[in-house]
Structure 1
Amino acid sequence: MTTTTARSLREPRILGLFDHHGILDRAAREAGRPHVPGPYRVDLLDELGFELKTIIPARDRLHRKVRDVVEHRSGVDVDMPLRAVTEAWRADVVFAMFERRAQFVSRLRRRGLRPYADRPFWAVTCWWAEELLHASERTRESIRRDIEGIDGLIVFSENQRSVFASIGVPESKVFPVAFGVDPDFYYPVPETKRRFQVFSAGVDRGRDFESLVAAARLVPEARFDIFTQPGRITEPLPGNVTLHAPVDIMAHRENLRSADLVVVPTHDLAYPTGQSVLLEASACGACVAVTSTEAMDQYIDDGVTALAMPLHDPSGMAEVIRQAHHDPGLRARIGAAARQTVVDRYSFRRMWAEIGALITGSGASRDS
């Protein structure tokens, strides 16, 4: 039996390079050991017709110390790819999340070093496009060279194709995939007591809380509750705004269910910052108002599944928030449509089925 025939009789084997807390292989799961999800629920690949193999990040104190010294001096993450060499020989494809997990493998492949040079190599990129918009020519060239050693880039918004094209990356190498959440975890509970009129949450640099606070001053009849890290908002707050520290995932879900209106105010970045909260809240059946940007617009059907707010415009944001605050019927219609859209189009299972098919060449199609 040829190698090609043998592979066709089994599930495609994916070597995953990413941080996680101990994703279990099939045998361990079948033996009843506790389930541990991966980032963005990448562990679902192993339930969708693919065999996922992973490498546990360094845990031993001495191991971590040596790794940190080596990687600080080299400037790239080398520990995980080197420890994954045996699994790489067995893999049909190597898959990295995110940029820092891809760089060293890319450089090995560019030098023709096996086993990585003999395997297709794909990566999810979240931040390269934004970095390219502001980087020096030296950094842009370094990113371009790293991308040379990658067969395909997975991104979560269509607009990033043109950003990568600006450094000569062919559009055919960039594969936009719609992001997802877990609608079986984030789901509506209609009897949940409403505790928030206007709710917002987030800790990443893409949040435009400054504009939201300014908008809150213009809507004094509504209460605003913002969950973010201490010190993120330093300006004096109006009396209708309350700050809270971030909460765990269970409390976050309850907060989304308890909100009349969820607001996601963002800056204009190359990637769709804030899409997780948008989709989580939508899956919970909440009405969401979100800043309209080129990266985020593919996730928004304004007036149908969400309400679009103008960028860096407190007065325009206040108008959208005030309309939703005073119209419970509008909020209910948008929340119901948003929930259905997440179930149909933005689930983690759909996302990983598409990515798995793309990176293994097992039947996915896309626009060229």
Structure 2
Amino acid sequence: GLGPGGAELQARYLLTHLPAQGVAVRLGTFGGDKESLALVAAAGVPIDRLTPKPPGVWPVRVVSAILGILRRHRIRLVHSCLSTFDILAPCLKAFAPGLEVVTSRRSLDEYLSPRDLARLRLTGRWATRIVGNSNEVAESVTRLEGFHPPALTVIPNGIPLPETLSADERARARQWFGLGPDRFVVSFPAHFRRGKGHALIAEVARRVRAAHAEAVFLLAGDMEVSEQYRRIAAETRRAVAAADLDSSVRFLGPVADIRGLQAASDASLNLSDSEGMSNSVMEAMALGVPVVATGVGGNLEVITDGVHGLHVPVRDAAAAAAALVRLAGDPALRGRLGAAARQRVAAEYSIDRMVARYVALYREVLAG
């Protein structure tokens, strides 16, 4: 469904901007959060609701339902945006002659289960085009699935370029969180799921607070999506409490106002084991907030170390803390990195640029 995740956000951006480019588009989905679905509907995009658990064999029934939509509306191209449908969508071509199918890859194949990787290898052969959201992802697909250009192409994520944060807005955001101007504030926008680095938070915070007692970490992310999320959130809370950091690490839950979160922050932290192309990293950059991020996947493409942000090794709490301590002690560096990061997003990762690339791809595919 069109939920709160990064892939879903990119799908929403695409859906809401395609009609203005003269592309007739429909959304087929199991559901989603009300706000996302309302924004898509407001853009004039018809929404076809699929039954999450149709009777019978699940993949067969879902494919049958999608085929019905394709035939009723004479749809010539399907673009899948989530992993389950990246596996299923190419199968539609066996039942709909002339249909073109574009599938997505938004994470490194190294972190897929062997079963899902085998399925993607199999059905990917029937896709008209496979789109990776970063060069690192595309290289991973080539290495582990065996697909190459022109069947494989890269279209990076797009992010809206917001208004610059003013000093007054930053002050109001801090006041809302109950934070004074003397606090060094680090945002950590990441849902509580595997691979996001929550196990490191307590140690990173302990090391940063040892150098800057006024440091505070704002953890923003869903903790209730599944048992895995709840378990990771509970483990993180226990580690924070054991380190006597309850006053320095705040668990905010899902945060709709990302601008407000980043406006209150001096730096933003990413500790992911892998990234296709992180929306949260790009959102911080677009607002001019300097980012400390693991040097993996799309992070390596979006951020040049020491120019647009700072890279740290994966699962290295000491290195992450050292980078944050460096930023805490150097406001001028924070300003330079933040300004360069915003310019980087504006030049390379705007929504208009992303949508234009997809429109060109669709037209190329339909032209044969």
| TM-based fold match above 0.5 | yes
Match of 2:345 in 1: 342
Match of 2:141 in 1: 164
1:246 aligns with 2:234: no
Match of 2:44 in 1: none
Match of 2:100 in 1: 120
- 1-structure distance, mates of 2:118, 2:365: 32
- 1-structure distance, mates of 2:204, 2:346: 32
Match of 2:261 in 1: 255
Q: How far 1:205 sits from its partner (Å)?
A: 2.7
- 1-structure distance, mates of 2:63, 2:111: 22
Name the SS of the counterpart of 1:39 in structure 2: helix
1:212 aligns with 2:190: no
Alpha carbons of structure 1 residues 135 and 65: separation in structure 2 relative to 1, 3 Å:
same
Q: How far 1:329 sits from its partner (Å)?
A: 0.7
Name whichever of 198-207 and 235-244 sits farther off.
235-244
- 2-structure distance, mates of 1:75, 1:246: 37
Asked whether the equivalents of residues 89 and 103 of structure 2 are also in contact (C-alpha less than 8 Å), the reply is no
Match of 1:225 in 2: 218
Q: How far 1:65 sits from its partner (Å)?
A: 9.8
- 1-structure distance, mates of 2:296, 2:314: 7
Q: How far 1:362 sits from its partner (Å)?
A: 8.2
Match of 2:187 in 1: 199
- Aligned positions of 1:4-153 closer than 5 A: 19=2, 39-55=12-28, 57=30, 68-70=53-55, 73-74=58-59, 77-78=62-63, 80-86=65-71, 89-91=74-76, 93-109=77-93, 111=94, 113-114=95-96, 117-127=97-107, 129-132=109-112, 134-136=113-115, 139-153=116-130
Alpha carbons of structure 1 residues 347 and 241: separation in structure 2 relative to 1, 3 Å:
same
Q: How far 1:150 sits from its partner (Å)?
A: 0.7
- 2-structure distance, mates of 1:232, 1:348: 37
- 2-structure distance, mates of 1:130, 1:75: 28
- 1-structure distance, mates of 2:365, 2:91: 26
Asked whether the equivalents of residues 264 and 288 of structure 1 are also in contact (C-alpha less than 8 Å), the reply is yes
Name the SS of the counterpart of 2:103 in structure 1: strand
Name whichever of 66-75 and 302-311 sits farther off.
66-75
Q: How far 1:82 sits from its partner (Å)?
A: 2.8
Of 284, 300, 303, the match for 2:303? 300
Alpha carbons of structure 1 residues 319 and 55: separation in structure 2 relative to 1, 3 Å:
closer
The code of the aligned residue for 2:345 comes to: V
The code of the aligned residue for 1:175 comes to: T
Alpha carbons of structure 1 residues 65 and 266: separation in structure 2 relative to 1, 3 Å:
closer
- 2-structure distance, mates of 1:360, 1:20: 28
Percent identity for Structure 1 against Structure 2: 19
The code of the aligned residue for 1:285 comes to: G
- 2-structure distance, mates of 1:339, 1:162: 27
Alpha carbons of structure 1 residues 66 and 49: separation in structure 2 relative to 1, 3 Å:
closer
* Number of residue pairs matched by the alignment: 317
In structure 2, list runs of 5 or more residues that go unmatched.
33-47, 224-232
TM superposition score normalised by structure 2? 0.75
Match of 2:229 in 1: none
TM superposition score normalised by structure 1? 0.75
Alpha carbons of structure 1 residues 187 and 249: separation in structure 2 relative to 1, 3 Å:
farther
The code of the aligned residue for 2:156 comes to: A
Judging by fraction of residues, say which structure has more helix: 2
Alpha carbons of structure 1 residues 169 and 67: separation in structure 2 relative to 1, 3 Å:
same
- 1-structure distance, mates of 2:360, 2:21: 10
Name whichever of 158-167 and 348-357 sits farther off.
158-167
